[in-house]
Chains A and B, each alone.
Chain A
């Protein structure tokens, strides 16, 4: 798999993110003792493996010009259902995992269908999905369900050694998903159609691409990633809890945007999203090491970074439009955005 690092202008934003990550990690290393260690770096992956998985799905959705606000709730629901099936219904993990993944795909398909067939704007369909999944969590159980299942416990505690440091199985899953995502986005017709839809949906249709089918599959994929992330997250917490993942959809979108993917669609990369996750994770670790700052400063920092990246994207776009002599248009309806 060759990553096009030969200064393709499309990769520039992601390289900026990588540079930002290196900068921040470097900053932490000089400011705090104990920061500069392999384990600290690997912890970024361990602590954020679920985020990487969700972000892969979200990246593709955003590249297509859409958005999926339901992923955080789906993560919680998937963890909840897993825990419930394991502990209350005593199902085996071999059955639980596929069922939960299927549930994520099914809900994704449903939302994708509404978006594609009836032209309902993605943000409101998936916003309702957010509430739907969150509500279903409480239907499953109002309280935390601790997971004692041996397989789950093993997955939670296992350590894969790398020299003197270690990573968890979740990291492996995340890396696999990441690599699969990169392959799909670059080397499959499905992936390229996603880029085409994001660039110009009308043109994509006229060029004979299977736009309708791709869009529905895409939301199904996002649901799959969210459900998988939920399983991974439940390895991490060894429980199902209805309040998990609140606000996570926005963290995910933030990492995707910071990673260089345009919210208007058509441009972006999964690798860039990985860098975005690393930046996100590093901010949290920096704040933790700092000790005195409220961890909620992460929210503000993330919001600020998203703003800066969106602003840059917007300025870049409008300067290109001016060069082509088009008139300034006021931002269009939500129906036209992220659709």
Chain B
């Protein structure tokens, strides 16, 4: 069964397999899950919802993949999403005529810039000051929400510039526009990491930070860069989120996104211990998380309860990644073999 071995040993196999299982489950148990309707040139349906709602998480997962690959973590991404949404909403604003306060492009760039600065802040704390990543990003998690609320004066800010709606609500060739953004960023990141030596350096730093340093890699710079990039992704994600509802709610935007994103990356095959990373795997992981959420919703269960399911999945994945758990399980089977 060599073909089976070579198929299952590909890291992408298990996440894809899990996704397929979920979809098959829905095929049988969820009425009309795969129904697609074409209205006004747009496709509608549960599957489209998964893509559309999952886009912000996918963007976060891309940035988070690189951070986790360096043995780090970034739990501030949800707050940065809120900040980015707040900045762009405040700058565009506009009245009911739909005329923005500042040019849309400018506002978008400003929002992304702020998000990148947030990422660089995290990067500085981790790489220069040497803080533990969980603590460093915890600070922005706390303060970030506050910054978002201050930016929006603790109000929900509405914006009226029609073109901006394209990001989160628009469709291109029938598919949600946000998916194209995800694909673009994915492509960009894949090129940057695989066509240059960056991907190799990131993996080296994550696998063996000491050896990486001894081999002449500037580990500090690499680590700084991945956190800045995570901020960048959170910035774009914030733009999409804001565009979807044409408003920014500093309190709720991006709430809980960090958990979904971490889960997506971990399911996708990148280990919490750092090292080899799988961008496509993270996207598949995000699809799984979103499908899970949509499935639960399609059953009429309130969306908040999906939190319980996600928590259980995280615990399960953590156990599966724990070597002591795996050897315990192996020991159980080993014993069975001996006594047989």
Contact = CB atoms under 8 A, between A and B. Distances in A.
A330 B129 contact: no
Given A124-B262, A294-B153, A331 B132 contact: yes
A296 B325 contact: no
A188 interface: no
A46 interface: no
Given A131-B256, A131-B310, A302-B142, A296 B133 contact: no
Given A314-B129, A337-B134, A303 B318 contact: no
B138 A253 contact: yes
Contacts of A251: 142
Interface stretch (A31-39, A135-143, A194-202, A224-232): A135-143
B311 A117 contact: no
Interface in A282-339: 294-304, 306-307, 310-311, 314-315, 318, 328-338
Contacts of B127: 330-331
A300 B146 contact: yes
A129 B324 contact: no
* Majority secondary structure of chain A interface residues (helix, strand, loop or mixed): helix
Given A131-B310, A250-B141, A331-B130, A299 B146 contact: yes
B150 A307 contact: no
Interface string B290-316: 000000000000101111111110110
A128 interface: yes
B130 A303 contact: no
B154 interface: yes
Given A296-B250, A306-B139, A135 B146 contact: no
Contacts of A335: 71, 272-273
A299 B307 contact: no
Contact of B142 (A142, A254, A264): A254
Contacts of B145: 247, 296, 299
B209 interface: yes
Interface in A87-134: 114, 117-121, 123-125, 127-132, 134
A302 B154 contact: no
Interface string B265-292: 0000000111000000000000000000
Contact of A127 (B131, B132, B140, B259): B259
Interface string B10-29: 00000000000000000000
Contacts of A331: 72, 126-127, 130-133, 136, 223
B143 interface: yes
Contact of A118 (B125, B220, B307, B324): B324
Contact of A124 (B146, B219, B318): B318
A320 to B, nearest CB: 13
A311 B129 contact: yes
B200 interface: no
A142 B149 contact: no
A138 B301 CA distance: 10
A314 B273 contact: no
Contacts of A250: 138, 141-142
B305 A307 contact: no
Contact of A338 (B72, B134, B274, B310): B134
A119 B272 CA distance: 13
Interface in B210-224: 210, 213, 219-220, 223
A172 B166 CA distance: 56
B131 A314 contact: yes
B213 A330 contact: yes
Central interface residue in B136, B315, B325, by most chain A CB within 10 Å: B315
B143 A299 contact: yes
B305 A124 contact: no
A263 B143 contact: no
A138 B324 contact: no
A242 interface: yes
A134 B304 contact: yes
Contacts of B126: 331
A329 B130 contact: yes
B147 interface: yes
B308 A128 contact: no
Given A119-B324, A331-B133, A295 B154 contact: yes
B150 A121 contact: no
Contacts of A121: 272
A135 B306 contact: yes
A123 B311 contact: no
Given A119-B322, A299-B145, A333-B274, A132 B307 contact: yes
A53 interface: no
A315 B213 CA distance: 22
Contacts of A296: 145-146, 149-150, 154, 250
Interface of B: 71-73, 75, 125-127, 129-136, 138-147, 149-150, 153-154, 205, 209-210, 213, 219-220, 223, 250, 256, 259, 262, 272-274, 302, 304-312, 314-315, 318-319, 322-325
Given A128-B310, A132-B312, A307-B125, 9 more contacts: A114-B318, A128-B312, A128-B315, A131-B308, A136-B308, A251-B142, A333-B274, A337-B132, A338-B134
5 contacts: A118-B318, A119-B323, A128-B312, A130-B259, A334-B132
Q: Top 3 closest A-B pairs, CB basis? A: A303-B143, A299-B146, A135-B307
